[in-house]
Amino acid sequence: MITKRIIPCLDVKDGRVVKGVNFAGLSDVASPVALAKAYSLAGADELVFYDITASSEQRRLFTDVLRQTARQVFIPLTVGGGIQSLEDFDRVLHCGADKVSVNSGALKRPSLISEAAKKYGSQCVVLSVDIKLLDGTYYVYAKGGREYTGLEALSWIRQGVAAGAGEVVVNSIDTDGVKRGFDLELLSLVSSQVDVPVIASGGAGHIQDFLKLFRTLPKVDAGLAASIFHFGEVAIPDLKQAMAKNGIPVRL
């Protein structure tokens, strides 16, 4: 049986990990290098590193901090932020990333997904989608949740998977940082329409939120969170023990 993955997320701005609520009100947390090492030692299954302002500031991802972070982890590392071209894929992978997350760059040029999948393999291409519910419809936002695209989210996700994305990270703007649980309705819709791993992001506040996620939506492959891990509200070993006790397959 495939184990469920627990994935801490490092949202990096100006070389520091930050966290906000609903993608806004960012506050400084810690060094990404120190946090990455701690999470690797704590038993995280993977790690995500997002340079969250690279796209909105129209610049390349900070590679110096990324290199330092990659040296500290011995688990798969997914990196995103400002990925616009195959050259960006090359640069990030050479810095130590195992997978590359595309978001705004793929919205701007959808062929980037198929080009990257062809060159590096689908397992290397992660489609990250920032989604908000408006008038009963889920829409995609770009540039770290700052820019409304008018694009319907489910159709965009299906298009991205058909083009070769090997995983989908579903970032719910509505539940981000609120700590009242994952957006189960949105995740149910996504996981029913694609046949690649789906990673839930946004809303985790307690161990019970992960248990409810995996019990309710067994097709969801992983739970991603940031602040509850950063501030010590949930310890990864405790979370994994609780999952195992509740019959959820997990790597201890």
Q: Which residues are catalytic?
A: 11, 130
Q: Which helix (H) or strand (E) holds 27?
A: strand 24-30
Instruction: Give residues with Cβ within 8 angstroms of 125, minimum separation 6.
Output: 99, 100, 102, 113, 116, 117, 164, 165, 166, 167
Cβ 215 vs Cβ 248: under 8 Å? yes
Cβ 62 vs Cβ 51: under 8 Å? yes
**Single-letter code of the amino acid located at 114:** S
Determine the 3-state secondary structure of 124 from DSSP.
helix
Q: To 10 degrees, what angle do helices 236-245 and 207-216 make? A: 40
Q: How far apart are the first and last CA of the chain?
A: 14
Q: Is 132 exposed, middle or buried (0-12, 13-18, 19+ CB in 10 A)?
A: buried
Read off the tokens for 52.
């969250």
Radius of gyration (C-alpha) of the chain in whole angstroms: 16
Please give the Cα distance from 99 to 48 (Å, whole number). 9
